[in-house]
A = this chain, B = another copy of it.
């Protein structure tokens, strides 16, 4: 069961490579090179790249192949701005609808994040920390109970990944992460107290921090 076809497998790994910056923004994705790298034929590759086009991570020019979507400051701002609003929406609905299990999951995720703060040191595994970070925020958002909203949220999270990785690297072993941790504590408090306005304000600001930092960098 669950035998994945080549296209499905290669989609995951190409996507990761693009999000991780293995292929730079604007980079031409030649079939011959991709065939070599992933050891698959052109057909599964074309299927995977077609899907990445829909996800807006890859551009296609007819008869001229595929290339990684470029990044830009205006897109950075737009994505983070939209994420802040969508996440606010999720948090607001989650506070209205969340049950005790939801609360417990948030506390558990917050604990795991806190307990692994050492990952943020200069030589730490930032990607592992980011995974815990994402799981923490997802624990809050999933209380909204809307599959569609959570899908939109995930799309935007992934689209932001290329920019977020720049921020993570820039902040490695930096004091900015201390502030980040404090924001999480405040957010958990506001959420558990069911203070919608406060929680929305906090999450919105929290999401926009990397955007502000990166705007100065780009």
Q: Which residues of A contact B (CB under 8 A)?
A: 2-5, 7-8, 43, 46-48, 50-51, 53-56, 60, 62-63, 75, 78-79, 81-82, 85-86, 89, 146-149, 151-152, 155-156, 159
Residue of A152, A155, A159 with most partner-chain B CB within 10 A: A152
For A147, the closest partner residue in chain B by CB is B78
Q: Which residues of B contact A63 (CB under 8 A)?
A: 3, 5
For A4, the closest partner residue in chain B by CB is B62
The contact sample of 26 A-B pairs, CB cut-off 8 A, is A2-B62, A4-B62, A5-B62, A8-B62, A43-B43, A43-B46, A47-B47, A47-B50, A48-B50, A50-B50, A50-B51, A51-B53, A51-B54, A54-B54, A75-B147, A78-B146, A78-B147, A81-B146, A81-B148, A82-B146, A82-B152, A85-B149, A86-B152, A89-B89, A148-B159, A152-B156
**Per a CB cutoff under 8 Å, which of B47, B54, B85, B152 touches A46?**
B47
